[in-house]
Structure formats: structure tokens, C-alpha cells
Structure 1
Amino acid sequence: MKPIKTIEAYQKPPSPKTYAAGEIIFSQGETGSLMYGVISGEVEMQLNSKVIETISMGDVFGAGALVHDDHLRTSTAIAKTECLIGFLDQKHFLFAIQQTPMFAIEVMRSYSDRFRRLKELF
């Protein structure tokens, strides 16, 4: 069962952005300042040029760069299909966590689910 997602947080200004299939959203090793949410479409996450998972509508990604001091991306995100992607900067991310505890829980759940799936690969 998939939990209720937090797409609504990504549909408020700033406006979501459309990415074409194959377009890079961010690259491994880059400094990150945004967290992303998939409003529509699919995003492939790659580690060292190897696809490790596909993120779909309602899932979030990229928050790690907002919570680590170095703000570095540990993976590459590429639009697998045409995607509508919402985003939050650190200021809005922290506000959403403080004002909406369920937002924080959903982000943690998404990353926990992702970690479990990745653990099974190795």
C-alpha cells in the first residue's frame, strides 16, 4: 500500500518544471539546493551510471542534499519519461517539515522504502 503523497506541497509557487525524456535533472557530485517531487512521469536514479531505481508519480527525491552539510548529490536523476517535477528549496523544505509533520513522515517513509529496495539489490 502506498501512503498518501505530498504532491500538493510541490504544486505551489515556484511553479513545477517539465523535463523531457532523457533530460538530466541533477548529476552525481553536484551541489544541490533543491528537493524534488514527481507530479507526473518517471525519473531514473543512477549511481555511477547504473540505474538503481525508478521514481514515479507522488515520490520525492533529492532531499539528502538539503540535510547534509556538503549539499552534494550522491546520484544522478534523469527523466525517464516526460515529467512534471515540483521542487522545494531548503527554506521551504524546513518550513514544510515544521508546519506539516505528515510531510516529514512521508519524506522519511519514501527514503526508508528506497533504502529497503536498494538493500535488496546488494
Structure 2
Amino acid sequence: MTSPSPGALTTMRLLAQDGNLRTFAAGDVIFRVGDAGDSVFGIVDGEVRLDWAEGRTSEILGHGSCFGVGAMVGSQHQRFGTATALRDAQLLEMNREEFLFALQELPMFALEMLHGLEQRLGHLRAPDPDGNLS
């Protein structure tokens, strides 16, 4: 499981509104590859599996991790992977408008998001026990 960077989730909590907390049961699909993406998620509780490349690569994220930030980069984004709750999960959801507000008002939020993304990418590129890159 990827180690979280709690800074971004902390910022999301500070800016969260009542409707931003979403609950998913174990096995629920949060989004699928190809879905329109217009929000980023922070994991308050639970675990989420992200499947990439038609399920050939996956990662498991837990409390404090954020995912779906690619949807914030451009309008009309389509999701690159499928996110599924591995166990009951509570997620904070931040839409594009809220995300841009956070970047404007709290510039460290961008660095927190980038740091979390860098950790996840490093984990995905880490060699498996046989020395192969994942």
C-alpha cells in the first residue's frame, strides 16, 4: 500500500463543505476508466484500489491518500483507471472550482498534491521481489 501524504487531505478537510463527504461500500466502483472526471478524492477512511492498464497494474491507497488529480489538469478529462473501494470507505470529493480555489488561497496545496503523486509514481516504479519494475 502506498504511504500517504496527509497534507493534501488536511487542506481538503479545511475547505470541505457538507456534501463533500461520500461513502462507498466495499466493492463499489468510484469511477471507471473512460468516465468523465471532474473531481479529486481524498481518503478519510478505508482503502481504494486503482487499476491501470486494463488491470495489469494496480495500487492500493489508504487513509490520507488522494487520487484523481488528473481530472483537475484539463476540462473534459477522461479517467485513466478504475477506482474501487476495497473496504468501506469515506472519501472527501473536491470539484474543479474548489480545487482552483485551494490552489489560489493555499499555494502549498499544489506542492502537497505533487508530493503525493510523486510518492505514488515512485511506488509504481519500484521493483518487485524478482527485480522487475511494476
Larger radius of gyration: 2
Alignment of 1:45-60 (within 5 A): 45-47=50-52, 48-50=54-56, 52-60=58-66
Task: Supply the distance in 2 between the matched residues of 1:96 and 1:34 (Cα, whole angstroms).
Answer: 13
Cα offset, 1:69, TM superposition: 4.4
Task: Supply the distance in 2 between the matched residues of 1:111 and 1:17 (Cα, whole angstroms).
Answer: 22
Deviates more, 1:8-17 or 1:96-105: 8-17
Q: Which runs of 4+ in 1 moved over 6 A?
A: none
Instruction: Please report the TM-score for the alignment, with normalisation by the length of structure 2.
Output: 0.82
The one of 107, 127, 130 equivalent to 1:101 is 107
Cα offset, 1:105, TM superposition: 0.9
Q: Secondary structure at the match of 2:108?
A: helix
The one of 66, 72, 78 equivalent to 1:66 is 72
Cα offset, 1:6, TM superposition: 2.8
Task: Supply the distance in 2 between the matched residues of 1:51 and 1:21 (Cα, whole angstroms).
Answer: 20
| Identity among equivalent pairs (%) | 30
Task: Supply the distance in 1 between the matched residues of 2:4 and 2:44 (Cα, whole angstroms).
Answer: 15
Instruction: Please report the TM-score for the alignment, with normalisation by the length of structure 1.
Output: 0.89
Cα offset, 1:10, TM superposition: 3.8
